[in-house]
Amino acid sequence: SDSDAGDNLISETQFGASSILLETADTYYITVKDETGAFELDEVITGANGGQAYIKLINSNTLHFEYITGTFAKDEVITGRNNGFTATITEMKEENHYLINEEYNVDTIDEKSQIEDFENLDNTILDFSESNPFGDAGKET
């Protein structure tokens, strides 16, 4: 069967330059309030009820994550493993989006163009176009 992924594709510019590709299965996000500090990417967060998850993307007060074990609930306090910061969950939803990281540079200067590679390689090539430096077979000298 055909599927239309258009609604599930989100440009990285919507979430910032640190967007990463997330699997569509078991991916969730929570909105938090009363943060005591900044959570970190790939940090494990633990809820007061024992649920644990990896933070996969941070967008202001929204944390996108994948569960390790258990679940979270609205108004539950979560704690970051790396730094002990806490926050209270105000909203929680499952998502089915691919977050695509588009990383490219636009520049007017080619730092290492292909011509430089050929310039360095041509010193190792023997040129037989004028004459054979080893002599021409069957030709008297």
In order of 45, 99, 103, the CA distances from 19 in angstroms are 19, 6, 10
**Cβ–Cβ < 8 Å for 24, 99:** no
- Of 22, 20, 2, 3, the C-alpha closest to 12 is 20
| pLDDT over 60 (residue 36) | yes
Give the Cβ contact number of residue 111 at 10 Å: 6
The pLDDT of residue 78 is 97
The answer to whether residue 93 is domain-embedded is yes
| pLDDT over 50 (residue 6) | no
The pLDDT of residue 3 is 47
The number of domains in the chain is 1
105-136 per-position pLDDT tens digit: 555 666 666 666 666 666 666 666 667 767 76
What's the rounded mean pLDDT across residues 53-82? Answer: 90
The dihedrals phi and psi of 22, each to the nearest 5 degrees, come to -110, 145
User: Which position has the higher pLDDT, 64 or 86?
Assistant: 86
The answer to whether residue 108 is domain-embedded is no
**Token match 């909105």: residue?**
31
User: Which position has the higher pLDDT, 64 or 82?
Assistant: 82
The DSSP secondary-structure symbol of 141 reads -
The answer to whether residue 114 is domain-embedded is no
The answer to whether residue 141 is domain-embedded is no
The answer to whether residue 107 is domain-embedded is no
The answer to whether residue 136 is domain-embedded is no
- pTM for the model: 0.52
| pLDDT over 70 (residue 15) | no
The answer to whether residue 112 is domain-embedded is no
CATH number of the structural domain spanning residue 16: 2.40.30
Tokens of 54: 């990896």
| Host domain of residue 65 | 9-100
Pairing of strands 98-100, 44-47: unpaired
Pairing of strands 98-100, 9-11: parallel
